[in-house]
Amino acid sequence: MRTAGGAGTWKLGDLEVNRVGYGAMRLTGNGMMGNSDGTPIGRDAAVRLLLGAFEQGVDHVDTASFYFSPLRSANELINRALTAWTGEVAVVTKVGPWRDPSGAWHAMGRPDQLRGQVEENLRQLGRDHLDVVNLRRNGPGVESVAEHFGALADLREAGLIRHLGLSNVRPEHVEEARTIAPVVCVQNSYGLDWRNADDLGLVDLCGEWGIAFVPFFAVSGLRREGAVAGEQDARVLAVARAHGASPAQVRLAWTLHRGPHVLAIPGTTSPAHLAENIAAGALRLTEEELALLDRPGPDRTR
């Protein structure tokens, strides 16, 4: 059985994690910003899935208090799984945008509201402190992260947060935040079909700064929250055939090949797909295959 250690490790501050992690968003049946991803799986099945991930070496889980539906809360499912697990798992959450109890979205909380968001994550996860909190910049109108990130830095000094990161940002936001407190990770949308972070130079800059770059939607690409549909990219299909792998594995492997500081957090509700995603960490692509995948195509958006 392949384990999440197949791609090696990286450090989120002082927390060393395997580079293949797990994204919890799809456990709830709801996607980001209210996009439905289908009916959630049962609570017991979700906890078994998470425990199965931990048993296969996943020690880095991405979540948020706003990952909830009328039936499920990702944080509470993670809490249940961690209660039954004796190993160490780094839990990475995010704040900024928020949802009220009815599920309605609010684009970006004020800096003075972030403590409440952090405390909500603490309650749901049953923890005394949060391992990593990403400030998610939500909306083009948020041109400075200084005030929001400064509020989180104060909570870090108070012991509620261990490490800080950023999400949905540009290089200038990372530079600004780094003048306030250390940044251990940057989480942006990125994959074969969506390489805006390359156009900004952000992936390479994170490597130079020693910051983990953590793509979301690395498998689904332009489909975003939606489940992976039939692969249409001939390049991906050709490489998959050569390795006896799935297209999703090729997409994940391509992402991990971008640098040792790049992590993966694919989400799934299927134990079979979970094992497949984890095994992708051990898939080694040749230089020729990487060159083939890097060629521009009609569906590539930069």
Which of 135-144, 152-161, 250-259 is the least confident region?
135-144
Note the pLDDT of residue 107: 83
Which token pair is 20?
Answer: 């293949």
d(CA 236, CA 120): 41
Note the pLDDT of residue 31: 52
The CATH code of domain 4-294 reads 3.20.20.100
Handedness of CA 139, 66, 61, 31 (dihedral sign): negative
Mean pLDDT value across residues 227-255: 89
Question: What is the residue-averaged pLDDT of the chain?
Answer: 91
Whether residue 22 lies in the annotated active site: no
Mean pLDDT value across residues 19-24: 97
Task: Please state, for a pLDDT cut of 90, what percent of the chain lies above it.
Answer: 77
Note the pLDDT of residue 18: 98
Q: What does the domain layout of the chain look like in residue ranges?
A: 4-294
Tell me, letter by letter, the H, E, C secondary structure of 192-222: CCECHHHHCCHHHHHHHHCCEEEEECCCCHH
Between 85 and 98, residue with greater pLDDT = 85
Place of tokens 């400075």: 144
Which one of the listed residues 54, 67, 68, 194 is annotated catalytic? 67
Note the pLDDT of residue 105: 84
The string of pLDDT tens digits covering residues 166-187 is 999 999 999 999 999 999 999 9
The string of pLDDT tens digits covering residues 183-225 is 999 999 999 988 999 999 999 999 999 999 999 988 865 554 4
